[in-house]
Structure 1
């Protein structure tokens, strides 16, 4: 029918952004590479500096896992690895949907990968520009050169924004999305407080400057910020893909435009 043809034509026209046509089916071969490269470069540099006594001091009492920057550097490749796996399985199995992996990819990006990367970018640079000693003391420049600082705290946002712009995402219900993000946020804040209670040292210098009330206010504002980022990501997704989301996520579409039999493509 004509309506079916319109859906097929629409799908074909916009499939370049959906990794299904003109812009290539290699999107997830290329996009994950910067993420994996960032982690590889960081870990290689980190390993080469393990004998540096300053590194040992920085990573004492919790190791690298106490830093949100490092957790984000692990989170991003995990997401793009899942996205790459989903894309490959769809082609190997010739299925339109690998349901569990697809759902997990949507949930991982919308509730964690995008909000955390944007949060790290914003909060780091806000504090850095205000007073870098609160978040990234000057002596760290000797250990982590400027290019590595930007790799960890700057490049993460453009990569996540590219994912938003180049591919639509199905956001979960507000309740589900905010619950996942809230649990993750409070888990990290709880870890920060636990490390302090066990060692008497704060993960970031800024916390040592705050009173208990100031610390509560900082955590509250940080939580509001990351929730705002989540809602902004949802708005950006709707702004870019809103007119196609209902079609893309409710209609049964073929995995490849060329798989549509020519006889089924009838014009009005």
Structure 2
């Protein structure tokens, strides 16, 4: 029953994210507010990149479910666990937490009211709210083997710096910050904000690891014993 539930959950989550990504991609080329999809289209937004990340993870998880037996040592299984533990969970939780924190303070800094005309509320919640319960659901349906913390944080740091370089490149190319909030910071402020965000992502990584261990300690011990 648990195996069937896991398969249904992964296929459903993958289908949901594929639908959302398709819906957003269809907006490209429409008459949107100035600067929304200028230079890089939706690819410059962490929210959109996170949707692709979540879709990729659940797609990989669904394919992994089709493997015969419980081959926890397969390359596919290890890639799935790595993608979830290091990227999908901490980045997804970060997107939800940061977006709604800034939105509650002043939505114009992250999601201007003019966008509501083009993206109805359900899309906003699909991008910035439902990510959280879907991730928590994944934590509940199966255990994940986490890598060494230093390796995980190094990978997160590389990806974080790559994204920082990308949004700075967009600004230098077209003079528009991906998020209006960044326009209120000095250069030092942008750097400080980046490191603050990386600290929050790190905390979410640690949270995911602790939740995983708390819920699945017995299963993880068995998996580790088989690997030795």
| TM-score when normalising by structure 1 | 0.79
Q: How does 1:115-264 map to 2 (within 5 A)?
A: 115-251=90-226
Shift in alpha-carbon separation, 1:172–1:152, aligned structure 2, 3 A: same
Which residue in the other structure is 1:29 paired with?
A: 8
Shift of 1:196: 1.1
SS at match of 2:113: coil
Instruction: Count residues in correspondence.
Output: 227
Tell me if the contact between 1:38 and 1:152 (Cα under 8 Å) persists in the aligned partners. Answer: no
Which residue in the other structure is 2:18 paired with?
A: 39
Tell me if the contact between 2:6 and 2:142 (Cα under 8 Å) persists in the aligned partners. Answer: no
Distance in 2 between residues matched to 1:203 and 1:88, nearest whole Å: 39
Distance in 2 between residues matched to 1:174 and 1:50, nearest whole Å: 38
Distance in 1 between residues matched to 2:21 and 2:74, nearest whole Å: 33
Question: Which deviations, in whole Å up to 9, do the C-alpha atoms of 1:181-215 show, x marking residues without a partner?
Answer: 11111111111111112221110000011122221
SS at match of 1:31: helix
Q: Unaligned stretches of 5+ in structure 1?
A: 1-21, 253-268
| TM-score when normalising by structure 2 | 0.92
Question: Which deviations, in whole Å up to 9, do the C-alpha atoms of 1:153-174 show, x marking residues without a partner?
Answer: 0001111111112211110011
Q: How does 1:104-123 map to 2 (within 5 A)?
A: 104-123=79-98
Higher relative contact order (CA 8 A, sep 6+): 1
Tell me if the contact between 2:57 and 2:83 (Cα under 8 Å) persists in the aligned partners. Answer: yes
Tell me if the contact between 2:10 and 2:61 (Cα under 8 Å) persists in the aligned partners. Answer: no
Shift in alpha-carbon separation, 1:173–1:98, aligned structure 2, 3 A: closer
Tell me if the contact between 2:28 and 2:37 (Cα under 8 Å) persists in the aligned partners. Answer: no
Shift in alpha-carbon separation, 1:50–1:243, aligned structure 2, 3 A: closer
Shift in alpha-carbon separation, 1:79–1:182, aligned structure 2, 3 A: same
Q: How does 1:55-66 map to 2 (within 5 A)?
A: 57-66=35-44
**Higher Cα radius of gyration:** 1
Tell me if the contact between 1:79 and 1:108 (Cα under 8 Å) persists in the aligned partners. Answer: yes
Q: Decide which moves more: 54-63 or 123-132.
A: 54-63
